Amino acid sequence: MSELIDVVIVGAIRHARTYAETIAARSDLRIAAVAEDSGASPRARTAAEQLAGELGVPLLDAASLRGEGRLALICSEPTRHARLAATALRQGIDVLCDKPLATTSADATDVVEAARAGGAVCAVVTRALAPAVQTAARIVASGRLGLPRSVDVEFLSDGSYLTEHPDELDLVIDTALSGGGELMNFLGYPIDVVRAVTGCEPVDVYARAGALTFPSHVEAGVEDIGTASLSFTNGLVVSVLAGRVPVVPGPGRGVFTVRVIGSHGHLEFDADGPFVREYGPEGEKLIRLDPSPVDAVFDDLVQVLRDGGGLRYDVEDAAVAVRTIEAAYRSAQSGRVELVTG
């Protein structure tokens, strides 16, 4: 039996407990400690102390992780993701960072450079490795759809989550913590999936966003929903609707539907769902899957940590998403098409 990989959870905000539960259910990882930055806010320090107590593990200083664990799982406020990830990488600690990797392209570049300099692995939470997405990517690569011409994506999250967790609301709408509104929160997922499925890269974006539904977002001056029309390489056209709505159009807390139109067929799927529908000359074909998008990220990371090789989605992929989100915000402000730079 392979030796367990020790994980230090750095920051205990928002998704930290969810990821702790995921780790506890796995046979290849174990939580060795919780860590927080010495200069973190009292709220962040308290959250880390509470999580460490619940898990029965020590609380460490995020600046001194060397020898305490092999993998740092970054679960802080989004605006601190990049700094904490870079700090761990420069100590030679491998990293799994919650999304988004960073809230500015400059910070994303800093993490990329830290990973290169330290020789450490840096993975980022994504839906790009979800079974439905990988199945769709294989279908597109096979040529059965012909050339991908357009992709339509809808990523909508149920607003009731924030109603039920009011203590987390500021982590979404306070830009000092979140770095933006719901486009910062969600747009990276569609960008990741389009790149994974088609192999094409974002070139430019025209975006519109606003606070249409939630008074909390109106008061904070951040968007609760937005649309983005993007040009990708190879002439691919992409449209994205992403944000938070009072009630999602389907079961569960969110929908992540994707439709890929090819020159000879098309397919549609929910990136978190249990099947892919492929349409071609012979009609509809239903491909059933085992949905586990978060475990897919852990699976990929563990394999690389044990056997070597490269991640299927790494820090440089996540940096592309950050640059695209940044361009979308520039477009929403300028009213013009903006290039995805870098």
pLDDT by 10-residue block (mean), the chain, 342 residues: 90 92 95 95 96 97 89 98 97 97 98 94 96 94 96 93 83 96 98 98 98 95 98 98 88 86 94 78 76 86 95 98 98 98 78
d(CA 157, CA 192): 17
Domains in the chain: boundaries: 5-125, 131-291+322-339
d(CA 225, CA 228): 10
Both tokens of 174, joined, read 């306070």
Bridge partners, residue 30, by sequence: 6
Q: Which of 252, 184, 250, 191 is nearest to 220 (CA)?
A: 184
Is domain 131-291+322-339 annotated with CATH 3.30.360.10? yes
Both tokens of 73, joined, read 């799982």
Which backbone phi and psi does 251 adopt, to 5 degrees? -70, 155
Q: How far is CA 148 from CA 20, 59, 261, 262, in A?
A: 38, 49, 6, 4
Both tokens of 111, joined, read 């993490």
The pLDDT assigned to 255 comes to 87
Instruction: Give burial (CB, 10 Å; 0-12/13-18/19+) of 203.
Output: middle
| Helix, coil or strand: residue 153 | strand
The CATH architecture of the domain made up of 5-125 is 3-Layer(aba) Sandwich (3.40)
d(CA 10, CA 18): 14
d(CA 268, CA 25): 31
Read off the DSSP letter of residue 3: P
d(CA 319, CA 314): 9
Left, alpha or beta for 266 (phi > 0: left; psi -120 to 50: alpha)? beta
Q: Which of 237, 211, 238 is nearest to 222 (CA)?
A: 211
The pLDDT assigned to 199 comes to 97
